[in-house]
Amino acid sequence: MMEHMSQADWVGSPILGPLLERRAMEEDVSWTMHLTQGETEQEMRRRWLEYHLQAQRGRCAYCGVGIEIFRRDGNAELRATVDHIIPPSEGGPDRVENTLGACRRCNYAKRSMALEAFLVSPEFQESVRLNHPCPDRLCGDVVSPDFHLDLLRRGVRVWIDGTEFRRVYAYDVPAGVAEIAVATTKTRSGRPMTFRKRGVILPLFRDVHHALERIETGAFRGELTAWLAAREIPPAVRVRNARLDG
């Protein structure tokens, strides 16, 4: 009898039929539960964070330091977190459009401050200083192979009277001082001598916008303007540094 049973007879047998119906019913129930429950809040914020990290190229939207969801070096301060641009306590919505990816240090320093207020606050300056240790000295020798590379890595550009000046001898953001060469001459013995002047760096932040479709460096756009100590009319020297990479 079993030898002459066709495939159609086997599928329609009284044993297999209920099993197939039960499996279909279980799949329908599980799919319905998935639709009704949705993702958890933790899963939702993880998805937001992954989106921000991709849009911001793995950097904090405020200070620009490299951040990761899981830090291999164990530095918890550089762990990626989701931060609200407009704090919920100030009426900001809990949506992806109102969030950014930020390092833990900037997130904790911002607290419930508005974005514009945070970017000019001492807390933000301290966060930048800790996340980007600045060198005490830049290579000022133009014949050094590291001269242009060193300037390029830190984004230091200096203008004097509208002309870009390449010789930056010292650049220390925490101390607020930039030292540049303004003239070169020779001594009586023929040895070269350089006149240097020091400028005081004052941080000025402007043009802070949040556009998800245009994020490349994050919401942080900085402009550092330095005035020569010997002059009182700004700007004698302008130092631009959108991010302190180094």
Whether the model clears a pTM of 0.85, i.e. scores above it, the answer is: no
The CA distance from 43 to 49, in Å, is 10
The closest of 68, 92, 88, 89 to 80, measured between CA atoms, is: 68
Q: Tokens 């939702």 correspond to what residue?
A: 44
pLDDT at residue 167, rounded to an integer: 59
What is the enclosing helix (H) or strand (E) of 110? helix 104-110
What is the enclosing helix (H) or strand (E) of 198? strand 192-205
pLDDT at residue 130, rounded to an integer: 80
Q: Tokens 């918890």 correspond to what residue?
A: 76
Type of residue found at 182: V
Q: Tokens 């303004």 correspond to what residue?
A: 182
Strand partners, 199: 178, 228
DSSP state of 126: H
C-alpha Rg value of the chain to the nearest Å: 30
Strands (E), 68-188: 80-84, 99-103, 157-160, 163-165, 168-172, 177-186
pLDDT at residue 122, rounded to an integer: 84
Note down pLDDT in tens along the chain; length 246 residues: 444 444 444 444 444 555 556 666 666 656 555 554 566 788 888 888 888 888 888 888 888 888 888 877 677 788 899 999 888 888 888 888 888 899 999 999 998 888 888 888 888 878 877 886 544 444 444 444 444 445 445 555 555 444 555 555 555 544 545 566 656 666 677 666 666 555 544 333 333 333 222 222 222 222 323 332 333 323 323 333 323 222
Record the tokens describing residue 55, joined without a space. Answer: 């849009």
